[in-house]
Amino acid sequence: MTYYGVEHLARAFRTVRKNTIAIAQDIPEDRYTFSTAPDTRTVSQLLIHLAVSPEWQQEVHSQHLASLERYDFQGRFRKAAAEEQVPRTKVQIIDLLQHSAEAFASFLVRLSDSALSEMVSMPASRRKAASRCSSRSKSTRCITADS
């Protein structure tokens, strides 16, 4: 049984991303290079991180993986980190946020409710932070809240 259907998840993701875009639009472009402390993401890098973060969820759930034991988290993190380093203008970042949001929301609405209830087991190294198994619904709700 799922408490959130695909339409609700997509709508929630679009709402949260719309709010993120509104904030991104309010920040002056000359502040996009601001970082709160050394070795932390700049505003630009953080917004790009939010834009590319749903990609791993889409990858995992489109393949209907039952276990993430062999999923290449490090490879995915390296790819996302590389994207964060690509210089982009404010307009390009906002465009990336908009396009990635629609791509992920469109992906969500194509999932079935039965797919959302499928269990996905987590790797042993990740079980401290998460329960041993998580449903696709719970996993996609997490990314919806973070974006």
Domains of the chain, first to last: 6-31+41-146 (1.20.120.450)
> Residue 128: what pLDDT?
56
Task: Show the CA angle centred on residue 140, arms to residues 135 and 144, nearest 5°.
Answer: 150
- Mean pLDDT for 5-14 is 92
Position 109 pLDDT exceeds 80: yes
Alpha-carbon distance of 142 to 13, in angstroms, equals 10
**pLDDT band for position 54 (cuts 50, 70, 90):** very high
Tokens 């969820």 label which residue? 57
> Residue 101: what pLDDT?
96
Percentage of the residues of the chain whose pLDDT score is greater than 90: 57
* Pair of tokens at residue 129: 């932070």
* Pair of tokens at residue 51: 């834009």
Q: Of the given ranges (36-45, 92-101, 137-146), which has the lowest mean pLDDT?
A: 137-146
Give the rounded distance of the alpha carbon of 21 from its chain centre. Answer: 14
**pLDDT band for position 117 (cuts 50, 70, 90):** confident
> Residue 36: what pLDDT?
94
- H or E stretch at 133: strand 133-135
Contact 47, 25 (CB under 8 A): no
